[in-house]
Chains A and B, each alone.
Chain A
Amino acid sequence: MIFIWAFIIGGLFCALGQIILDNTKLTPGHVTSLFTVLGAILGFLGIYDKLVKLAGGGATTIISNFGYMLYKGAYEGFLKKGILGFFTGLFTYGGAAIVSAVVFAAVLTLFFKPKD
């Protein structure tokens, strides 16, 4: 069942993004930023963790999950360490995506050239 929901939720997020791209003047940069903020808001409202439980990989692979992770890290950081935790906790969950994107991109850039 989780596979079906993964397909549906993953698909719905992308379809919604495509509708915004096609019907407004927003660029892909706007849409990805918008969905990241949307993820943080859905996390704040307690909706995103339900989506993750329901759809697993379908929800965690969307960029909105990044916003949700940052929000979750900051909030749980506060619960552990108080005000300092907002700053130290923010990247607890979302950090891996940035670190891996940076490392893989940097290493691959050594070996590859841009096409044309």
Chain B
Amino acid sequence: MMYNFFLFFHNNSGGGLMNKDEYQKLVKKHEPREKKVENVLYAFLVGGVIGFIVEGIIQVLMNVFLLSRVDAGVWTSLIVIFISSLFTALGFFDNWMEKAKAGLLLPTTGFAHSVTSSALDYKKEGLITGLGSNFFKLAGSVILYGILSGFILAIVKVIIHG
């Protein structure tokens, strides 16, 4: 009886402390992972919605303005780039980018945002040394590696297939 009581007490206090420690450890271990899952879901949803809206605009331009699919696609990317540049200039796109992360970074919205935000940020440092030299500060690597990979792969394709 006494033994049982002691055991119970011991288990209880010991177990309680252990649980608290383990709980803390679990919290630390799982917090970033849950945040990561949340981030991925958010990026998926935002990216999906953008894809959906872009396809919607393309369909409207094709059916209402009777454009070809290719022309409608170009017009749509102009619209998306204009809207993201405007929202960046108005100042609330940065917050959206922070929340949606890759969901707004990987669509064309991210490209337009990077150009407009570096243009705005360096405007006060002068037209040449500020605006001019920093215009492609963030988008430059996309353009550089896009051109290089496109150019090289086109040559490889020609060599392989003629």
Contact = CB atoms under 8 A, between A and B. Distances in A.
Interface in A18-46: 18-19, 21-23, 28-29, 31-33, 35-37, 39-41, 43-44
Nearest to A56: B55
Interface string B74-110: 1011101110011011110010000001110111101
A108 to B, nearest CB: 4
B154 A86 contact: yes
A109 B54 contact: no
Interface majority SS (helix, strand, loop, mixed), chain B: helix
Nearest to B70: A93
Contacts, number: 255
B153 interface: yes
A112 B91 CA distance: 9
Q: Chain B interface residue count: which class?
A: 35 or more
Interface in B28-70: 36, 39-58
B50 A61 contact: yes
Interface string A42-61: 01100000000001111111
B150 A15 contact: no
Contacts of A62: 47, 51, 106-108
Interface stretch (B3-11, B16-24, B139-147): B139-147
B45 A11 contact: yes
Nearest to B144: A33
Interface in B90-144: 90-91, 94, 101-103, 105-108, 110-112, 114-117, 119-121, 123, 131, 135, 138-139, 141-144
B54 A35 contact: no
A104 to B, nearest CB: 4
